[in-house]
Amino acid sequence: MENDETIVKSEGDVPAVPRRELAGASGASAGRYELRDRLGSGGMGIVSTAFDRQLRREVAIKVLRPELLGEGLTREQFTEEAVVLAGLDHPGAVPVYETGTLEDGSPFCAMKKVRGATLRDVLFERNADSLSSREDLAHLVDVFERVCQTVAAAHDRGIVHRDLKPDNVMVDDLGAVYVMDWGLAYSVRSASGGSHVSAPVPGEIAGTPSYMAPEQARGRAQEIGPRSDVFALGTILYEILTGKNPFREGTGQESLKAVQELDPPPAVRVNPRAGRALSAVCRKAMSKEVSRRYATARELADEIRRYREFRPVAAAPPTLYERVANWARRRPAVAASLVTLLAALLLVGVARGYRAFTQRQLVERALAIVESGSAEVLEIDARLVDARRAAASAPEGPGGDDLRARADALAELRAVRKDQVRTYALAVLVFTLDRPDPRARAIYRLELREAIGEALRDGHPTRAAAMAEEAIAEASRRNVPGWTAADVSWFEARRDEARSLERAR
């Protein structure tokens, strides 16, 4: 049994039948299709290129392996894979064109031919410089997010893949990402008239040893679900971040043991370029305890999206320094202005040689900007009330649309200004880290609490929970903002409220 070979066996079974060539594949015909070169094979099928005589195009044809033709259950599983794939209707799922039977009685599935490379090939071509390259890592994290989004679409429909690995991810020549080989996929929902021939049974071990979740490796059918796919996705992310799969041991049996018992070191320890946030996301996805992982690939995809947008991830609330750095990446123009302002003030002080031009004066100037921003927010609030009242009473049509667009623009401007006020206050706190300025503390504390409340009211519980977790974590560290026990209790209550809203979705 190979580490990266998909297996399907029950207790006491021997490994799957070794791969062999499709007899008579070249030149075979299904009437409309002419089979040509072989592309690869899996546990149930052999994939070849084919020429579609009717539409005069190249397609991919997956044909059931010859030695499995006499197994009725396997034929049903083969057909069910095509049904699952056709039902996903997602850009990351390969379009299915047709199913049918070849002249020799072999069932087949015709689908889009993806021209590109597998994620395994992409990872294999990396070297030490690629692992330490921020650009290469960003590209692969983008690919990974799209894999998560495709699997999330499947989870939304109650479909579990069960065999996620780099070999089953294709990146085509135009950069599109596809999740392949849904032969082990099954539905966790009991749909009327639906087929469930691929559903796991107690004792069955199905998947790829070095990417299986622990419950898969133990054959615990009742525990297998979307979180099992999340474990496999976490393993893929670990491989992207570190260049190696932590569970790929000498043999498949040793890998099955490793996924159940081995607790790999954090990715950031293996490759510092991985960063604390991504390493924490990876660790949560790969938790041995099913309940501690992300519930679905949707949650994992959201975490990766927040990371790529330089926002806090739930798996690792950022430190004060990370919050400032991430904000600067999200708002480079404002950050540059702030740095320029502080630098200019400092240079003026040095040039003039005034001893009185100290840190206190720098802080006073920065706080004046904060207070000016707060006053502007109050002015925008007054205009926003009038704009919303006018938009609410406006009739349908171009005039009403203009009023509503004006109200939306004011609301967006208010959000930007509030973010700037909070961030400037945070910058002053960082500037006065040894003796935090009390006015900056008060402004930042007020703005953060308001931001959490607004996130809950506006239907963004994930963001509210992340900000609350961030404040709780800061209170247990250096506590620069000066949170009190009552503040922490308030944040815990808002965090619990946000999590309840997330679960209710």
Instruction: DSSP for 334-388, please give it.
Output: HHHHHHHHHHHHHHHHHHHT-TT--HHHHHHHHHHHHHHHHHHHHHHHHHHHHHH
- List the catalytic residue out of 52, 142, 156, 163: 163
Using left for φ > 0, alpha for ψ between -120 and 50, and beta otherwise, residue 482 falls in left
Between CA 380 and CA 318 the distance in angstroms is 31
- Rounded Cα–Cα distance for residues 15 and 7 (Å): 7
Classified as helix, coil or strand, 111 is strand
- Burial of 135 per CB tally in 10 Å (0-12, 13-18, 19+): exposed
CA 290 – CA 230 distance, rounded (Å): 10
**Measuring CA to CA, how many Å separate 449 from each of 52, 319, 442, 494?**
61, 18, 11, 10
C-alpha 253/C-alpha 250 separation (Å) is: 8
User: How many Å apart are CA 315 and CA 268, to the nearest integer?
Assistant: 14
Burial tier of 467 (Cβ tally within 10 Å: 0-12, 13-18, 19+): buried
Measured CA distances, 488 to 146, 315, 480, 484, 491 (Å) = 36, 19, 14, 6, 5
Task: Judge whether 487 counts as a catalytic residue.
Answer: no
Question: Which sequence positions are flagged as catalytic?
Answer: 163
